[in-house]
Amino acid sequence: MAKLRMSWPNRITLARILLTCPFVIAMLYVNDEQYKPWARYGAMTLFLVMAVSDGLDGWLARRNNTVSNWGAFLDPLADKLLIVCCCLLLASDKAAIPGMKLPYVVVVIIIGKDLYTILGFIIIYLVTSQIKTVPVMMGKLSTTLQLSMVLAILISPEMKAILPRFEYLVQLLWWAAAVLAVFTMIIYTRNGTRYLNEYEHQQKHN
């Protein structure tokens, strides 16, 4: 019997998911006087590794022609897990970066978009019994903007010393991420509805 082997892109994605745990632990100590500023530096390093690997696994999958349904499901799951953890932590009193606490409304919109996407995925699966994962450019742009927002917040203590108005750039990023999340939900709704209509049309003619 042939052994089931996991491709390198999927291994990288799985490693990204596992790194979320030490990232969360580091973030929980960013405001602890005993661990300042090293906990934040550790969190920044882990975040950068996960962000870079997000592009690396996709590039390897396309380069080696190892794109799979498993990878298409696992990759966005890793992204959503990281973004949800980041938003909750950066909006909390314990892990928020001083002067850069993420507004609750931004957190609700971003996490709400991910929950909405998962709900849509479940509905499509229940109706069609098929796994439908089709990345759209708006979704990729939304994820990239959210990752940029998190990185900007994490490096803000150093950047504010160089650029006194850096905080305004960070605020622009988090509101832009929220707005783009709303547009992404609209596009996912349109695409999901269109797919369900096409499926029902095919079923009627079979």
**SS3 call for 186:** helix
Rounded to whole angstroms, the Cα distance separating 178 from 172 reads 10
pLDDT reported for residue 131:
66
Could you report the average pLDDT of every consecutive run of 10 residues in the chain (206 residues)? 60 89 96 93 95 75 65 77 94 94 96 90 82 73 93 94 91 96 93 86 77
- Contact indicator for 121, 128 with CB cutoff of 8 Å: no
Residue 3: what pLDDT? 45
User: Residue 187 has what pLDDT?
Assistant: 92
Smallest CA-to-CA distance from 84 within 118, 36, 52 is with 118
Diameter of the chain by CA atoms? 68
Task: Check if the beta carbon of residue 84 is closer than 8 Å to that of residue 111.
Answer: yes
Neighbouring C-beta atoms of residue 166, cutoff 10 Å: 18
Q: What is the pLDDT of residue 161?
A: 87
Question: How many residues are given for the chain?
Answer: 206
Q: How much is the pLDDT for 177? A: 96
Residue 150 has a pLDDT of 96
CATH number assigned to the domain with residue range 8-204, chosen from the 4 options 3.90.105.10, 3.30.450.90, 2.40.160.10, 1.20.120.1760: 1.20.120.1760
